[in-house]
């Protein structure tokens, strides 16, 4: 499959579908390209961003530059999706590292968690227990 990007003068347009790639990935890939190309982002259609690239060096193939940008875009999309998927694991690892550096933090965290659990149980108990009715209708 041969990919053709729109080329105008010394700029190449790489259209990016926002349903496939989040804007954060587009910004990151554009930032990574700033050393070798000028980058301009424009809204093309409702869900499409036009990424315009102009190489900073004269000896650069525009089609190749567009393909390299597409590769970088996929790289950042994968990075952010992996980051999101592994966020909880990273949090646990960081907590363990901090706790091993200072064991007193573990005791404080455990005490705070116990206090929070007691508060939650007390709140649930209040919701679950029916309130006694007082007044003439409650007496038989």
The band of 72, judged by pLDDT with boundaries at 50, 70 and 90, is very high
Read off the pLDDT of residues 44-70 as tens digits, 9 standing for 90 and up.
888 999 999 999 988 888 999 999 999
Residue 139: per-residue pLDDT: 53
Whether pLDDT at 103 is above 80? no
Output 74 or 111, whichever has higher pLDDT: 74
Over residues 66-95, mean pLDDT: 87
Output 97 or 33, whichever has higher pLDDT: 33
Residue 14: per-residue pLDDT: 95
Over residues 98-114, mean pLDDT: 78
Query: Nearest Cα to 44, choosing from 22, 68, 14?
Result: 14
What string of H, E and C letters represents the secondary structure of the chain? CCCCCEEECCEEEEEEECCCCCHHHHHHHHHHCCCCEEEEEEEEECCEEEEEEEECCCCCCHHHHHHHHHHHHHHHHHHHHHHHHCHHHHHHHHHHHHHHHCHHHHHHHHHHHHHHHHHHHHHHHHHHCCCCCCCHHHCC
């Amino acid at each position: 499959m041969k990919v053709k990007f729109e080329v105008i003068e010394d700029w190449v347009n790489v259209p990016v579908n926002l349903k496939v790639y989040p804007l954060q990935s587009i910004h990151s890939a554009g930032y990574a390209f700033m050393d070798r190309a000028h980058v301009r982002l424009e809204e093309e259609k409702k869900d499409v961003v036009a990424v315009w690239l102009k190489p900073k060096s004269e000896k650069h193939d525009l089609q190749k530059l567009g393909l390299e940008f597409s590769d970088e875009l996929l790289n950042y999309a994968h990075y952010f999706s992996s980051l999101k998927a592994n966020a909880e694991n990273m949090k646990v690892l960081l907590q363990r590292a901090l706790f091993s550096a200072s064991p007193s933090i573990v005791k404080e965290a455990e005490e705070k968690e116990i206090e929070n659990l007691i508060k939650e149980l007390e709140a649930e108990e209040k919701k679950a227990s029916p309130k006694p009715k007082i007044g003439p209708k409650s007496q038989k």
